[in-house]
Structure 1
């Protein structure tokens, strides 16, 4: 029968020699929360490379002076007994790897199974936010080939330029598909190309839906492409910039499908 031990909710263990965390808090963390905690711990640790077994062993060692002695034997806090630390660390590492925040240690300095923070991981740890990494992960989808430059600019952190490059590709592709000249551009070109009655790219059986598509294209260019053409527009939220690039992907696909349906 297990010995039940009363312990404080603040009973902590140490992650990567850098950060103490409550056992109860760690047990309730999502993979992304645990991943960020791990990244921040690795960033301040004097040791650059860590493996899951090393992290577990270090965390368990940090509890040794907090364990209780009952009837001559060591008893770990009950909350720790119920904690699946290996699973938590595996989930955290999986999240960090998928977002490009950690990479394999070099053969010269580390052994197999050890990881170290990437440049993006260190930046995320220092800022306390994985916003850029999460938004970049959103762009790992199969984007339209025309958006390759926009994706690269985004990964470099140039959100404004990435949004302009993505929405500019809508303009370029619509002009090509509608067979319009270089004098056609901007919101007026979108209104002409997707005119509900006479637009070359307008498709659909319901007039209201054709008008909605026309408004969608014109609104996207007017709201996201044109402002960046005339002044500096700063995107502080990388997720917002990523969503606009995804919108550009959708509109490129709609325009090409519309051109096919009109043939």
Structure 2
């Protein structure tokens, strides 16, 4: 059973595959697996896979993945939500003096914010504004003011959430 589970995991991670040169059920290492030369390489691979990079906006993946793999989870989360803030400011063409909560309230104002979703109800627009305000306050601000202890899974969830927020901003650019 343990061998079958291990084979299943190795296959799902793209580390082994059926040997295309054999007719039976023989397996070979994939090119990805062949790059894992040491225990440290394997540990970095496992740590890196906690963050599903395929779910991230490409510009976010480039900024945070290396921080996450290195174990700088608080810095990776801070950088992810800083990217959200910068994307909102850039999309609305606001200057650098409009920051944080004030920035997202102005950008997602339910009545006249340039990033509001006009196809939804007033309550939904207010909720979306609150979502962005809460995200900046809860996810970005703590790490910008003090050391924050985040485990790998929590950091991964927050980074994926930041990617979702970035996708909203990208969809709504005026």
For residue 135 of structure 1, what is the aligned residue in structure 2? 50
Structure 2, unpaired ranges of 5+: 16-31
What is the aligned counterpart of 1:93 among 2, 5, 10? Answer: 10
For residue 165 of structure 1, what is the aligned residue in structure 2? 79
Whole-angstrom CA distance in 2 between matches of 1:89 and 1:230 = 43
Q: CA deviation at 1:231?
A: 0.8
Q: CA deviation at 1:88?
A: 4.5
For residue 121 of structure 2, what is the aligned residue in structure 1? 206
* Greater share of residues in strand: 1
What is the aligned counterpart of 1:104 among 20, 34, 37? Answer: 34
Superposition TM-score, scaled by structure 1 size: 0.53
For residue 147 of structure 2, what is the aligned residue in structure 1? 232
Q: CA deviation at 1:200?
A: 1.4
8 A contact 1:201–1:258 mirrored in 2: yes
Bigger drift between 216-225 and 198-207 goes to 198-207
Superposition TM-score, scaled by structure 2 size: 0.78
Q: CA deviation at 1:190?
A: 0.6
8 A contact 1:193–1:202 mirrored in 2: yes
Whole-angstrom CA distance in 1 between matches of 2:172 and 2:41 = 40
For residue 110 of structure 2, what is the aligned residue in structure 1? 196
Secondary structure of residue in 2 paired with 1:103: helix
Whole-angstrom CA distance in 2 between matches of 1:243 and 1:250 = 11
Q: CA deviation at 1:103?
A: 3.3
Whole-angstrom CA distance in 2 between matches of 1:215 and 1:89 = 44
For residue 30 of structure 1, what is the aligned residue in structure 2? none
For residue 247 of structure 1, what is the aligned residue in structure 2? 161
What is the aligned counterpart of 2:57 among 140, 144, 157? Answer: 144
For 1:177-192, list aligned pairs within 5 A: 177-192=91-106
Q: CA deviation at 1:234?
A: 1.4
In structure 2, the CA distance between the partners of 1:118 and 1:193, relative to structure 1 (3 Å rule), is same
